[in-house]
């Protein structure tokens, strides 16, 4: 199926720095044996963020980064015509561990919900449109891109933000137990793609190239789970590619979406 | 929507669930599975004994899903290539109980992965032997509605030929502690929309439906999912928007997708948690949406019977709607006795009521300003 949607901008924060230019050539070497490449807590102003968790602030910061990339004001995305699709494999883990350990106050409980992160983003930017939260690794992000394209195609929104956030530091010992299924290093990331209606037709990368960007993201960024497909889009845009095949693998399943940065998207 | 399967506190399969709802059964009881002595409230909609099919499954969350799937499979077969069958489930808690175990000293690698919120969906897909997309939605207590909507979208886009879609959640110490700390739980009876309502009680369960395209459904079907909508409040991390604007947007989006208007609705399955705020806001939204017909359209809540089953709630409520249309009976709002002027709607008090709704609306709200709505049609 072809749907008219394209990635108009991508805001990238990773443990390596801001933007894809900050990614090393080889994450494993650059990590120097560190299991987790951490993102620091963004210093955002405002009393409302006093209680917000690090992962919530990272979500807000990723949207700010996307707005800079798109040269858009925050007013341009506010309101009911912007859809928000949030994806994470485990960013809720830090809050859950705090709550289980009894280290958090009584009002912390709502922050254990994955929806807390996207709620802080929606509140900060006044987003009141369609709202979808998916849990999983890269395949979930491909699903979110597909759903965003669908919302745009149906005219249910004028633009869609696909936001992915992963943090590992607070749960590093748990992630380490599952290291047989994840390649080191684990790299924290917060990435936001702005999806807008695209042209009717555009160049699409052939199926034979499936996975090339996925491999590049893994090599250069490390394991970023749900952020991987959005990093792939950012890399494709940075390379000046008019199209990208965004793929993902998670728990033995694969998903792919062929997406142009100036035209339609095709999910497979 | 070809068929459904459930496991709930009022019945371990679809028939028992439906009988329990029609009889006005109160499925809430003292919690026995974990320690509650240190909490203000130790009651909820606990399933005391899971069906045998769940034996040996690693997590209770996966066990609930598999029990519901086993019930579903007694009513419909999954006749499609495994890679063309998808699973889409909603949950507020996923495998969080496994996280508690992992932190308590169980250091097996599998336990750590089971703690992720998408683990039960993959366990279900593996149990069913399906290889299509396995999607987990976690928009808090609105998750089940969005899962059903995404499942229908997969069919519309030809990404799957069959979809097992619905929702689940378990009662565990993690969530009970959380709601207890927020003082959201009542020490009394759950009384949705009642003047004396004082809070919710949590419940556990799973509800799954088998979705197929119209042409593939054949003669057997429960009904149709005509439209779904979602919207963010963008107003508060935990409380609903005071004017219910997000809920209204979700309802309007669902109606638009269904090609229907408020005047077409015959019945509403409300979120109806029994909290002061939710029920008042939801009533105001429904009165605005339904307009002059607001007092004519029956609006029930089944949370007085089951408790708030979180990720399962919307799926169970959608299934209830379709069974109501099938049998011409609306389950009562268990616990509703004294009208509240702030919640002035027809809340189906007392006993089940004879009525055969055609077009129905189901509404859901959740933490994080999540709102979702479904428009359903009886078979």
Residues B361 and B374: their CA atoms lie apart, in Å, by: 6
pLDDT digits (tens, 9 = 90+) for B215-264: 998 878 999 999 999 999 999 999 999 999 999 999 999 999 999 999 99
Shortest CA distance from B251: residue in chain A: A130
With 0-12 / 13-18 / 19 or more C-beta atoms within 10 angstroms meaning exposed / middle / buried, residue A43 is: exposed
Residues A92, A94, A96, A99: is their CA dihedral positive or negative?
negative
How confident is the model over A227-240, as a mean pLDDT?
95
Residues A63, A65, A70, A73: is their CA dihedral positive or negative?
positive
Residue of A110, A114, A122 lying closest to B138 (CB–CB)? A114
Question: Residue A41 carries which DSSP code?
Answer: P
Confidence of residue A210 (pLDDT cuts 50, 70, 90): low
- Residue B182 corresponds to which tokens in the numbers above? 């927020």
Closest Cα partner for A50 from A96, A102, A108?
A108
Residue A250 three-state SS: strand
Q: What's residue A263's pLDDT?
A: 46
Higher pLDDT, A175 or A261: A175
H/E stretch holding B29 reads: strand B29-30
How confident is the model over A136-165, as a mean pLDDT?
95
Cβ contacts (< 8 Å) between A96 and chain B: which residues? 96, 99, 174
Shortest CA distance from B152: residue in chain A: A147
Place of tokens 């250091």: B107
* Residue spans of chain B under pLDDT 50: none
Give the closest-approach CA distance of A135 to chain B in angstroms.
5
Q: Is B107 on the interface with A (CB under 8 A)?
A: yes
Place of tokens 């959005």: A230
Q: Is the ipTM of this complex over 0.90?
A: yes
Q: Is B258 on the interface with A (CB under 8 A)?
A: no
Q: What's residue A104's pLDDT?
A: 85
Residues B42 and A173: their CA atoms lie apart, in Å, by: 32
Given an 8 Å threshold on Cβ–Cβ distance, is B234 in contact with A122? Answer: yes
Cβ contacts (< 8 Å) between B257 and chain A: which residues? 154
- What's the whole-model pTM score? 0.96
Q: What's residue A200's pLDDT?
A: 40
Residues written for chain A: 268
Residue B80 three-state SS: coil
> Using an 8 Å Cβ cutoff, are A197 and A25 in contact?
no
Confidence of residue A211 (pLDDT cuts 50, 70, 90): confident
Cβ contacts (< 8 Å) between B146 and chain A: which residues? 132-133
Q: Is B369 on the interface with A (CB under 8 A)?
A: yes
Confidence of residue A98 (pLDDT cuts 50, 70, 90): very high
Confidence of residue A258 (pLDDT cuts 50, 70, 90): confident
- Percent of residues, chain B, with pLDDT higher than 90: 94
Given an 8 Å threshold on Cβ–Cβ distance, is A119 in contact with B232? Answer: yes
Per-residue HEC secondary structure of A154-213 comes to CCCCCEEEEEEEECCHHHHHHHHHCHHHCCCCEECEEEEEEEECCCCCCCCCCHHHCCHH
Given an 8 Å threshold on Cβ–Cβ distance, is B249 in contact with A80? Answer: yes
How confident is the model over A113-133, as a mean pLDDT?
97
Q: What's residue A1's pLDDT?
A: 43
Which of A84, A136, A255 has the most B C-beta neighbours within 10 Å, making it the best mutation to test the interface with B? Answer: A136
With 0-12 / 13-18 / 19 or more C-beta atoms within 10 angstroms meaning exposed / middle / buried, residue B215 is: exposed
Residues B118 and B344: their CA atoms lie apart, in Å, by: 39
Domain extents in chain B: 3-378
User: Is A208's pLDDT higher than 60?
Assistant: no
Which of A110, A133, A267 has the most B C-beta neighbours within 10 Å, making it the best mutation to test the interface with B? Answer: A133
Buried/exposed code over B294-330 (b: 16+ C-beta within 10 A; e: otherwise): beebbbbbbbbbbbbbbbbbbbbbbbbbbbbbeeebb
Closest Cα partner for B318 from B167, B128, B213?
B167
- Residue B29 corresponds to which tokens in the numbers above? 């009881």
Residues A24 and A37: their CA atoms lie apart, in Å, by: 12
Bridge partners, A87 (sequence order): A134, A164
Given an 8 Å threshold on Cβ–Cβ distance, is A122 in contact with B99? Answer: no
Which of B368, B370, B371, B373 has the most A C-beta neighbours within 10 Å, making it the best mutation to test the interface with A? Answer: B368
Determine whether domain A2-267 maps to CATH 3.30.70.100.
Answer: no
Q: What's residue A147's pLDDT?
A: 95
Give the closest-approach CA distance of B84 to chain A in angstroms.
12
Given its phi and psi angles, is residue B274 left (phi above 0), alpha (psi -120 to 50 degrees) or beta?
left
Q: How many beta-carbon pairs under 8 angstroms link A with B? A: 180
Given an 8 Å threshold on Cβ–Cβ distance, is A123 in contact with B235? Answer: yes
Q: Is B373 on the interface with A (CB under 8 A)?
A: no
Residues B120 and B92: their CA atoms lie apart, in Å, by: 12
The beta strand positions in chain A, using DSSP E, are 2-3, 6-14, 17-18, 36-37, 82-88, 131-135, 159-166, 186-187, 189-196, 243-250, 253-260, 265-267
Residue B246 three-state SS: helix
Given an 8 Å threshold on Cβ–Cβ distance, is B133 in contact with A99? Answer: no
Cβ contacts (< 8 Å) between B134 and chain A: which residues? 139, 251, 253
Shortest CA distance from B176: residue in chain A: A109
Give the closest-approach CA distance of A253 to chain B in angstroms.
8
Determine whether domain B3-378 maps to CATH 3.40.640.10.
Answer: no
Shortest CA distance from A116: residue in chain B: B368
Domain extents in chain A: 2-267
β-pairing, A17-18 vs A6-14, is antiparallel
Shortest CA distance from B232: residue in chain A: A128
């Amino acid at each position: 199926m072809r749907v008219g949607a394209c990635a108009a901008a991508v805001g990238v924060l990773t443990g390596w720095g801001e933007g894809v230019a900050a990614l090393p050539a080889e994450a494993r070497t650059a990590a120097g044996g560190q299991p987790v490449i951490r993102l620091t807590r963004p210093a955002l102003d405002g009393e409302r963020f006093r209680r917000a968790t690090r992962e919530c602030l990272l979500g807000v910061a990723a949207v700010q980064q996307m707005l800079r990339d798109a040269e858009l004001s925050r007013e341009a995305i506010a309101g009911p015509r912007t859809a928000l699709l949030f994806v994470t494999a485990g960013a809720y883990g830090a809050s859950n561990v705090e709550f289980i350990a009894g280290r958090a106050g009584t009002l912390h409980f709502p922050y254990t919900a994955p929806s807390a992160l996207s709620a802080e983003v929606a509140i900060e930017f006044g987003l009141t449109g369609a709202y979808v939260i998916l849990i999983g690794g890269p395949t979930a992000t491909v699903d979110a891109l597909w759903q965003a394209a669908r919302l745009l195609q149906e005219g249910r929104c004028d633009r869609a933000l696909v936001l992915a956030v992963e943090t590992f530091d607070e749960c590093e010992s748990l992630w380490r137990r599952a290291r047989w299924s994840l390649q080191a290093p684990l790299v924290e990331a917060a990435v936001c793609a702005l999806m807008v209606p695209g042209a009717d037709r555009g160049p699409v990368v052939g199926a034979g190239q499936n996975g090339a960007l996925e491999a590049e993201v893994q090599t250069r960024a490390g394991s970023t789970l749900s952020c991987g497909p959005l990093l792939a889009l950012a890399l494709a845009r940075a390379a000046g590619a008019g199209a990208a095949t965004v793929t993902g693998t998670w728990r033995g399943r694969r998903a792919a979406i062929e997406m142009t940065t100036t035209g339609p998207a095709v999910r497979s | 929507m070809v068929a459904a399967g459930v496991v709930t506190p009022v019945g371990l399969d679809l028939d028992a669930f439906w009988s329990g709802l029609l009889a006005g059964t109160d499925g809430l009881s003292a919690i026995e599975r974990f320690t509650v002595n240190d909490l203000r409230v130790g009651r909820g909609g606990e399933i005391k004994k899971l069906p045998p099919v769940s034996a040996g499954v690693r997590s209770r969350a996966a066990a609930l899903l598999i029990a519901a799937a086993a019930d579903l499979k007694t009513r419909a077969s999954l006749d499609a290539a495994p890679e063309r069958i998808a699973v889409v489930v909603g949950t507020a808690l996923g495998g969080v109980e496994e996280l508690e175990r992992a932190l308590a000293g169980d250091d097996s690698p599998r336990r750590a992965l089971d703690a992720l919120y998408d683990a039960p969906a993959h366990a279900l897909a593996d149990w069913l032997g399906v290889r299509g997309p396995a999607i987990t939605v976690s928009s808090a207590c609105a998750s089940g509605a969005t899962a059903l909507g995404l499942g229908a979208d997969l069919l519309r886009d030809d990404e799957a030929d069959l979809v097992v879609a619905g929702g689940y959640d378990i009662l565990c110490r993690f969530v009970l502690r959380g709601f207890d700390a927020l003082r959201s739980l009542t020490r009394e009876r759950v009384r949705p929309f009642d003047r004396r309502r004082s809070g919710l009680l949590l419940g556990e369960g799973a509800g799954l439906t088998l979705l197929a395209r119209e042409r593939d459904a054949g003669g057997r079907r429960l009904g149709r999912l005509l439209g779904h909508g979602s919207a963010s409040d963008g107003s508060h991390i935990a409380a609903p928007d005071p004017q219910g604007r997000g809920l209204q947007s979700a309802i309007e989006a669902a109606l638009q997708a269904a090609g229907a208007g408020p005047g077409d609705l015959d019945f509403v399955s409300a979120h109806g948690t029994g909290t002061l705020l939710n029920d008042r806001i939801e009533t105001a939204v429904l009165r605005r949406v339904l307009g002059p017909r607001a007092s004519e359209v029956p609006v029930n809540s089944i949370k007085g019977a089951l408790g708030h089953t979180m990720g399962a709630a919307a799926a169970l409520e959608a299934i209830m709607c379709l069974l109501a249309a099938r049998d011409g009976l609306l389950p009562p709002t268990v616990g509703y006795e004294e009208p509240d002027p702030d919640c002035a709607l027809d809340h189906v008090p007392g006993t089940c009521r004879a009525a055969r709704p055609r077009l129905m609306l189901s509404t859901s709200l959740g933490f994080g300003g999540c709102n979702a709505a479904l428009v359903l049609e009886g078979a």
